[in-house]
Amino acid sequence: MATPRLFVKGTVLGYKRTRTIQRPSSTLLQLEGVNVKEDTGFYLGKRVCYVYKVGRESRCIWGRITRAHGNSGVVRARFQHNLPPQSFGATVRVHLFPSSI
Amino acid sequence: MQFTPERVRRPLVSYKNNKTTNKTVLKNNLVPGSIVILLAGRYAGSRAVFLKQLESGLILVTGPHKVNGVPLRRVNQRYVIGTQTKIDVSKVDLSNVSEEWFKHSETVLPALAETQKTLDATLLAEIKKVETMTSYMKAKFSLKKGDRPHDMIF
């Protein structure tokens, strides 16, 4: 087997926002397979990593999932540095640590 | 409130002896012999046997090394998933394993290697008692398309 995947894929939906104002300190993530608010409990506190490339080098912005957002499994996350707008629509890695099981 | 006309001398409160020992609480599903899945680091995805909790709060795990290459190692329990699978480790002797061994001391390496060998031998015997346990320990855990960790029972 190649390197095992130990993270859940998520998509960056955008910043937390109202209709006209956005709050970049918090981003919204859609996790694969998580479609209901009840399922988000497992992911709270899990560390998230936005991976991007600069030239040939891979870099990462780390964050954590803070809370659910709405009723359909979307989740809010805060990163060490706010995610750049380039990340909207990009994949984010939601790791399984810190694990409570 | 009573008004005291003179200043009363009282000894200064000393907080010197107020040390609280913040012992790390072991996750309740981790029992010596539990098979755990390592979630990060060099051996991410590998399964290992949980041996005991060390003084610092970190947990001691081993592959065993012979089975999947995971050596005697310290791991933070939050970077590990404890599965329901267990093997019997009552025959394993961990009396001479100390935290100092894992602090990159060159003089300790031979002792570590010795203990690794004897430990592995005992554990391997236990693992072979259970059908398919060896291949289970050799296999790496990985998420596949459609997998939902929040629905999984480990």
C-beta of residue A15 within 8 angstroms of C-beta of residue B151: no
Q: Is residue B65 domain-resident? A: yes
Q: Name the minimum distance, in Å, from the CA of B121 to any CA of chain A.
A: 27
pLDDT given for residue B4 in this prediction: 67
Range of the domain at B103: 28-139
Give A55's DSSP letter: T
Q: Enumerate residues 6+ apart whose C-beta is below 8 A from A17.
A: A23
Among all residues of chain A, which has the CA nearest to that of B76? Answer: A98
Q: Is B37 exposed, middle or buried (0-12, 13-18, 19+ CB in 10 A)?
A: buried
Q: How confident is the model at residue B106 (pLDDT cuts 50, 70, 90)?
A: low
Q: Is residue B152 domain-resident? A: no
Tokens (6 digits) for B71: 């050596």
Q: Is residue B144 domain-resident? A: no
Q: What's the structural domain count of chain B?
A: 1
Length in residues, chain B: 154
Find the mean pLDDT for residues B77-93.
92
Cα separation of B138 and A88, whole Å?
Answer: 39
Residues of chain A neighbouring B78 (CB-CB closer than 8 A): 97-100
Q: Is residue B151 domain-resident? A: no
Q: Is residue B20 domain-resident? A: no
DSSP secondary structure string, B66-91?
HHHS--SEEE-GGGEEEEEEE---TT
Question: pTM of the predicted model, to two decimals?
Answer: 0.86
Q: How confident is the model at residue B94 (pLDDT cuts 50, 70, 90)?
A: confident
Q: Is B80 on the interface with A (CB under 8 A)?
A: yes
Q: Is residue B19 domain-resident? A: no
Cα separation of B148 and A72, whole Å?
Answer: 15
pLDDT given for residue A40 in this prediction: 96
Residue of B150, B153, B154 to mutate, testing the A interface (most A Cβ within 10 Å of its Cβ): B150
Q: Is residue B40 domain-resident? A: yes
Tokens (6 digits) for B137: 């320990």
Distances A40 to A32, A83, A98, B125, B147 between C-alpha atoms, Å: 11, 21, 15, 41, 15
Which domains occur in chain A, in start order?
Answer: 7-95 (2.40.10.190)
Q: Is residue B15 domain-resident? A: no
CATH number of the structural domain spanning residue B48:
2.30.30.30
Q: Name the minimum distance, in Å, from the CA of A5 to any CA of chain B.
A: 5
Residues of chain A neighbouring B148 (CB-CB closer than 8 A): 33-34, 39
Tens digits of residue pLDDT in B8-35? 777 788 777 777 777 888 888 999 999 9
**Is the Cβ pair B78, A97 closer than 8 Å?**
yes
Tens digits of residue pLDDT in B48-76? 999 999 988 999 999 899 999 999 999 99
Distances B111 to A45, B70, B73, B108, B115 between C-alpha atoms, Å: 39, 17, 14, 5, 6
